Chain A
Amino acid sequence: MNTINPSISTGVNMRDKQAAEIPVPQDKPEDTIIEEGKTVGKPFASDPKFQLRNVSVSYGSDRAIKDISLDIGRNEVISFIGPSGCGKSTFLRCLNRMNDSIDICRVKGQLMLDGEDIYSPKRDVVELRARVGMVFQKPNPFPKSIYDNVAYGPKIHGLANRKSELDEIVENSLRKAGLWEEAKDRLDSVATGMSGGQQQRLCIARAIAVSPEVILMDEPCSALDPIATARVEELIADMSKSYTIVIVTHSMQQAARVSNRTAYFHLGHLVEVNETNKVFTSPEHQLTESYITGRFG
């Protein structure tokens, strides 16, 4: 799914990242049906949390994202769907600058969170990530106890003054992630011993613990069995009341179940954005229709 090989992405120098904007060669659109920068449907929202304008991302000379403009509304759940390699994960990782750790990755365009530029040199990436949390494709609990996993974020940010406050944060987060009942008796056991579904919910609890405003989810259920998937989806529905959620998914059913709006990506282009039921019942763009009817993907 990810076009990036994570193993090469060691060696990070945040300051270097923002420095040079390499001009991107304007290659011809691969698919004549798509017009670059044109998105059908309703890409803009009235009360936007994110305002993203003319975003392009390139890895070296490869353009992974081509001139995308999109709003993400406050407390909205939006799904990114599309075939493999269409750039949806890359785009998601721009929203909390996780792409910073890839040397050759360059982001162009305007990305605003609550009216402030995400990629501005003055923007602090640590603070940004505290506000924009992320859940990954593969559950990645730290090899520590369940308690320590959830407490990790609050601890590094200094969110708790006392142990009792920390306990409270941990308990609340685990409750919100629907994991409290299963985990309360073994908070001290190592997190990697849990089942895949539990691990993923733990990762969600870990993200919630720092009280982010936005949670980015990169195919959170792709490594889980159907029952665990159902529980995570329930959880997403619960969380939508208090968080803005952006979810990349491979499963159209999942997009249909959890999201308000759905965005369809194709080869680095944002083809169509609309209310979820609109996208799945009467897509406006020919490519979207082909995709949801399973002609490719």
Chain B
Amino acid sequence: MSDQSSQAEIVRNSLKRRYRKERRFRLYGMVAIFIALGSLFILFADIIGKGHTGFIKTTITLDVTLDSEMMYLDDPTDEDQRSMADFVAPIIDALQDHIPEAETAAEKRELGRLVGNYAASEVRDLLENNPDLLNTTQTIEFLAHDRVSTYVKHAGNPRYSIKLSEQQQRWVDELVEKGVIDTSFNDVLFSRGDSREPSNAGILGAIVGSLLTMLVTLAIAFPVGIAAAVYLEEFAPQNKFTDFIEVNINNLAAVPSIIFGLLGLAVFIGLFGMPRSVPVVGGMVLALMTLPTIIISSRAAIKSVPPSIREAAEGVGASKMQVVLHHVIPLAMPGMLTGTIIGMAQALGETAPLLLIGMVAFIVDVPTGFFDSATVLPVQIYLWASSSEQGFIELASAAIMVLLTFMISMNALAIWLRKRLERRW
């Protein structure tokens, strides 16, 4: 007995030290969680901080007198005349109404650089489509030059360098005061393809490219993935080849994505001579990459269908295939859909393999078909992020916000599906 009580004494004395260790260990855990969640927070804060200005465009609204003499243009329908005409002159003239002090040729040139590089072609397109507007005065909203846009949005921000001369800065200030230069929601971002100029660049091309690519991926990966899962769960004989298939699927799930790019490059483009940069090839590569995810989750869904259902169907004389088609697949469908959506979200964010099959090209036009050259949203982000033009950084961040919105909604949909439709047996 004395043995027991002396030992109890020892235990009691050691408690303080041991609880200190316990608290320290718990603290380590909390710090770890904090680091992980903190990084996520910083990442989001950083991207939103950088990217929210990407949703703002800077415009210059001018009353432009489309004077035929000033433009050296008599007949806007004549292509030769159009190619020789000076469409900048009326814009500068309109700007001069607000900034009368710009008088010398050099100053006028400086003034003309406040509007974006595409302003002249906007005027040209306007006249080409409506020749009647010649010699009338029109109120036209131009996109401001990137330097102006940067100045208006980021003056005073040390991360951005202002590339306007002091004189131009004064003019811009004046125009902002007069309401000529204004900022508004950047609809250009959602209505155009890529451009060499940040203010003129949009993600519509990339979004459509992503959509087309995802459609191809879905059309291949979903049926094939489910068929493969059904085969492995329901029909596969216990043999070496089945084991081999399983080993392959498990390993493919962990193969680096860039390797799938090599596969696409060598087989689809090299061997089959398919075109580069097109959604079909991108979609096929991503489908191969996504298949293991879909197969693995579909198998889990099939496994969770209780044997009693199968037995009940077999009991009334259904064939194996009928059991599978009428009962197992419908019952497992929510789980399969969840897995598919998660796989698709993964594919939507994938970049590396698409670089190798040439989806990094600079493409202005919004793709209209599966065989059009296209890029996808993550690749567009990559291209803009590596650009030296500072205006693209905020666009890249804005595009990231759009991409993350897509992905989070897809994952939310998957979670909702799982909660809503998945049966608990």
Q: Which residues of A contact B (CB under 8 A)?
A: 124, 126-127, 130-131, 156-159, 210-213, 242
Tell me the B381-412 residues at the A interface (CB within 8 Å).
Answer: none
- Tell me the bound Cα distance from A210 to B1 in angstroms: 13
Q: Which residues of B contact A (CB under 8 A)?
A: 1, 3-4, 7-8, 10-12, 14-15, 18
> Which listed residue, B7, B12, B15, B18, touches A210 by the CB 8 Å rule?
B7
- Tell me the bound Cα distance from A210 to B11 in angstroms: 9
**Cβ of B11 and Cβ of A127 under 8 Å apart?**
yes
- Tell me the bound Cα distance from A226 to B4 in angstroms: 32
What's the nearest-Cβ distance from chain B to residue A152, in Å?
14
**Cβ of A158 and Cβ of B14 under 8 Å apart?**
yes
**Cβ of B7 and Cβ of A211 under 8 Å apart?**
yes
> Which listed residue, B4, B12, B14, B18, touches A212 by the CB 8 Å rule?
B4
**Cβ of B14 and Cβ of A157 under 8 Å apart?**
yes
The residue of chain A having its C-beta at the shortest distance from the C-beta of B5 within the complex is A213
What's the nearest-Cβ distance from chain A to residue B5, in Å?
9
- Chain B hits for A126, CB < 8 A: 11, 15, 18
- Tell me the bound Cα distance from A211 to B3 in angstroms: 7
**Cβ of A213 and Cβ of B4 under 8 Å apart?**
yes
**Cβ of A211 and Cβ of B14 under 8 Å apart?**
no
Some 24 contacts from A to B, beta carbons below 8 A apart, are A124-B12, A124-B15, A126-B11, A127-B11, A127-B12, A127-B15, A130-B7, A131-B4, A131-B8, A131-B11, A157-B7, A157-B10, A157-B11, A157-B14, A158-B10, A158-B11, A159-B10, A159-B11, A210-B7, A210-B11, A211-B3, A211-B4, A211-B7, A242-B1
- Chain B hits for A156, CB < 8 A: 18
What's the nearest-Cβ distance from chain B to residue A171, in Å?
15
The residue of chain B having its C-beta at the shortest distance from the C-beta of A131 within the complex is B8
**Cβ of A130 and Cβ of B11 under 8 Å apart?**
yes
What's the nearest-Cβ distance from chain A to residue B7, in Å?
4
Given known A-B contacts A157-B14, A158-B14, A127 and B8 have beta carbons under 8 A apart: yes
- Chain A hits for B18, CB < 8 A: 126, 156
Besides A126-B18, A130-B7, 5 new A-B residue pairs in contact (Cβ under 8 A), listed by A number: A127-B8, A157-B7, A157-B11, A159-B7, A159-B11
What's the nearest-Cβ distance from chain A to residue B169, in Å?
60
- Tell me the bound Cα distance from A212 to B5 in angstroms: 9
- Tell me the bound Cα distance from A131 to B7 in angstroms: 9
What's the nearest-Cβ distance from chain A to residue B272, in Å?
51
Most buried by A among B4, B11, B12, B15: B11
- Chain B hits for A212, CB < 8 A: 4
In order of increasing CB-CB distance, the 3 nearest A-B pairs are A211-B7, A158-B14, A130-B11
- Tell me the bound Cα distance from A130 to B7 in angstroms: 9
What's the nearest-Cβ distance from chain B to residue A219, in Å?
25
- Tell me the bound Cα distance from A143 to B10 in angstroms: 27
What's the nearest-Cβ distance from chain B to residue A118, in Å?
15
- Tell me the bound Cα distance from A213 to B3 in angstroms: 10
What's the nearest-Cβ distance from chain A to residue B122, in Å?
63
The residue of chain A having its C-beta at the shortest distance from the C-beta of B12 within the complex is A127
- Tell me the bound Cα distance from A158 to B4 in angstroms: 14
The residue of chain A having its C-beta at the shortest distance from the C-beta of B13 within the complex is A158
What's the nearest-Cβ distance from chain B to residue A31, in Å?
32
- Chain B hits for A210, CB < 8 A: 7, 11
The residue of chain A having its C-beta at the shortest distance from the C-beta of B19 within the complex is A126
The residue of chain A having its C-beta at the shortest distance from the C-beta of B10 within the complex is A159
What's the nearest-Cβ distance from chain A to residue B373, in Å?
53
- Chain A hits for B8, CB < 8 A: 127, 130-131, 213
- Tell me the bound Cα distance from A30 to B69 in angstroms: 104
The residue of chain A having its C-beta at the shortest distance from the C-beta of B1 within the complex is A242
What's the nearest-Cβ distance from chain B to residue A255, in Å?
26
- Chain B hits for A211, CB < 8 A: 3-4, 7
- Chain A hits for B11, CB < 8 A: 126-127, 130-131, 157-159, 210
- Tell me the bound Cα distance from A157 to B11 in angstroms: 6
What's the nearest-Cβ distance from chain A to residue B22, in Å?
9
- Tell me the bound Cα distance from A130 to B15 in angstroms: 11
The residue of chain B having its C-beta at the shortest distance from the C-beta of A169 within the complex is B7
- Tell me the bound Cα distance from A152 to B408 in angstroms: 47
- Tell me the bound Cα distance from A213 to B11 in angstroms: 13
- Tell me the bound Cα distance from A210 to B14 in angstroms: 14
- Chain B hits for A157, CB < 8 A: 7, 10-11, 14
What's the nearest-Cβ distance from chain B to residue A88, in Å?
26
- Chain B hits for A124, CB < 8 A: 12, 15
